[in-house]
A = this chain, B = another copy of it.
Amino acid sequence: MTQRNTRQREAILGALGQAGRPLGPQEILVFARQFVPRLGIATVYRNVRNLVESGQIRVVLLPGSSDRYELAGKHHHHHFHCRECDGVFELDGCDEDFSGVTPSGFSLERHEVTLYGLCPVCS
């Protein structure tokens, strides 16, 4: 019933903290294997789901790309997605207001903004 602390779960949280940017399951696996070499991909998927449900990490939804994950507790922000290396980078807080473009009848609850282009390394 209760969530237990395992080396694997610590390694996954450590990977996300160390990376400092949203990671996909495969990226998490590579990072976290520094701490737990025999870590399996299924364990990554299972822990990621549990950590999202328990609110410790957050899902980063990207248009046209699979989900990434980042540590929870950050301010509202969006991401920059590099079309060359597929890396995702955090942007500073968002101050946009989209209530003006919401047609009448629709009830706006949240929004996602993703910028595309080249990151500094790929430029």
Which A residues lie at the B interface, using CB under 8 A? 59, 61-64, 67, 78, 80, 83, 89, 91-92, 94, 96, 98, 101-103, 105-120, 123
Question: Copies per complex?
Answer: 2
CB contacts (< 8 Å) of A117 on chain B: these are 102, 106-110
Pair B83/A109 contact, Cβ less than 8 Å? yes
A93 to chain B: closest residue by CB? B101
Q: From DSSP, what is the main secondary structure of chain A's interface residues?
A: strand
Pair A89/B114 contact, Cβ less than 8 Å? no
Contact of A101 among B91, B105, B107, B118 (CB under 8 A): B91
CB contacts (< 8 Å) of A59 on chain B: these are 64
Pair A111/B105 contact, Cβ less than 8 Å? no
Contact of A110 among B105, B109, B116, B119 (CB under 8 A): B116
Pair B98/A118 contact, Cβ less than 8 Å? no
Pair B110/A111 contact, Cβ less than 8 Å? no
Contact of A109 among B98, B103, B116 (CB under 8 A): B116
Bound CA–CA A115/B107 (angstroms) = 10
